[in-house]
Structure 1
Amino acid sequence: MPWTREQMAARAALELRAGEYVNLGIGLPTMIPAYLPDDAGITVHAENGILGVGPFPYDDEVDADLIDAGKQTVTVRPGASFFGSEVSFAMIRGGHIDVAVLGALQVGANGDIANWMVPGRMIKGIGGAMDLVSGVPRVVALMEHLTRDGEHKLLGECTLPLTGRGVVSRVITDLAVLDVADGSFALVERAPDVTYEQVRAATGSPVLDREAVAT
């Protein structure tokens, strides 16, 4: 069966390594800190000016002045620091953030990502995603495999306005984990009881089955 959103966030947390500075995009990626142990050695960055973001607060912990870039209330880890957005974006543009985990509307087999607008729909703005995908060495897309209408979100080429070209290295969806390499998707892991055939049918581009190649 497909992973739940909570399971997707927990799976994405396994992509992060001790010592890394990580930016989490708005939406589903912001659930990841709940699955990072206190001793994980991972520092979460929010582009509105926090280094050391923790999980969402319980009701009795809410501080209305402590929010992330998506305007959600958050907690902070011991030793967290606060600064202006100009310093925050200097960290991103200067290559000081190791990983960005971003939601996506579409990801192409060439590593392109579209995650900031759908033509004809109201948008709030581009946000920091374009800076992130151009300034961070490793970009992971965390997203549903299909739209609510059952349309493909993993494609040979994105059809929506791009956020970045050739930047995504791995995609985690409710169905599977896939690598983006050599212009194709490569299956790394499947959700429990999800078959390769289901992943392939839900993907708008060929999917290399690494399990089959290994055998």
Structure 2
Amino acid sequence: MSNGFTKEQIAARIGQDIPDGSYVNLGIGMPTLVGDALPDDKEIVLHSENGILGMGPTPTPEQFDPELINAGKAPVTLLTGGAIFHHTDSFMMMRGGHLDICVLGGFEVSEHGDLANWSTGDRSLAPAVGGAMDLAVGAKSVFVMMTHTTKDGRSKLVRECAYPLTATRCVNRIYTNLAVLAVGDDGLHLVETAPGISVEDVQAATEATLHV
């Protein structure tokens, strides 16, 4: 079995599914790659929870500004017409239902669309929920971008989440290195497999009920 999509290919696949004119928040980690993979024929306005609207792609060395960063402290650019504002206003956008889509990372997603993405219970790591809970319940649609399994091969698509929940029944779509899946009332539906990946490969790597 091949490894399927690369992280950059997952990001590009997500970009295909974001409608033109959308306001989109990109979470910390893998989701930030989506900002560099958006189609040129769409106008998509990117939001960062630390107070940016109209965020652009990763800067070149000439564009680098140490005072312009996203919520994950990575350098970004600001598009023409973009705005910077207090993070309180940013959270009002998130909680007020003004974002069309948020793209979040995930430790686990259940077959019901529950999301766990802020803590694995590892006491050696500081818990860092950030704005994930606000985004998961405030955005109109939630896309999760993650690897299909853990490094030791355990499925991240589970019947019930074992980790602390970020939000319940919030996830609409899941994008992994193996597949694209949609969350329905009856569980997870396989939308597309990655190149070199069979339906059987996806089923074998998925603990949750999978509808093909």
- Could you state the TM-score of these two structures normalised by the residue count of structure 2? 0.96
Q: C-alpha displacement at 1:38, in angstroms?
A: 4.7
Q: C-alpha displacement at 1:18, in angstroms?
A: 1.2
Q: Which runs of 5+ in 1 are unaligned?
A: 210-215
**Residue of structure 2 equivalent to 1:212:** none
Q: Which one of the candidate residues 157, 172, 175 is aligned to 2:160?
A: 157
Q: Which runs of 5+ in 2 are unaligned?
A: none
Moved over 4 A (4+): none
**Residue of structure 1 equivalent to 2:67:** 65
Letter in 1 for 2:93: M
**Residue of structure 2 equivalent to 1:168:** 171
- What is the percentage of aligned positions where both structures have the same residue? 47
**Residue of structure 1 equivalent to 2:200:** 197
Q: Which one of the candidate residues 167, 188, 198 is aligned to 2:191?
A: 188
**Residue of structure 2 equivalent to 1:145:** 148
Mapping of residues 63-102 of structure 1, within 5 Å: 63-102=65-104
Question: Contact 2:25 / 2:47 at 8 angstroms: preserved in 1?
Answer: yes
Question: Contact 1:26 / 1:103 at 8 angstroms: preserved in 2?
Answer: yes
Q: Distance in 2 between matches of 1:124 and 1:187?
A: 32
**Residue of structure 1 equivalent to 2:113:** 111
Q: Distance in 1 between matches of 2:64 and 2:26?
A: 20
Question: Contact 1:104 / 1:114 at 8 angstroms: preserved in 2?
Answer: yes
Letter in 2 for 1:52: G
Tell me how large the CA RMSD over aligned residues is. 1.1
Q: How many residues align?
A: 209
Pair 1:123–1:183, CA change in 2 (3 A): farther
- Could you state the TM-score of these two structures normalised by the residue count of structure 1? 0.94
Q: Distance in 2 between matches of 1:37 and 1:106?
A: 28
Q: C-alpha displacement at 1:37, in angstroms?
A: 3.8
Question: Contact 1:111 / 1:183 at 8 angstroms: preserved in 2?
Answer: no
Q: C-alpha displacement at 1:34, in angstroms?
A: 1.0
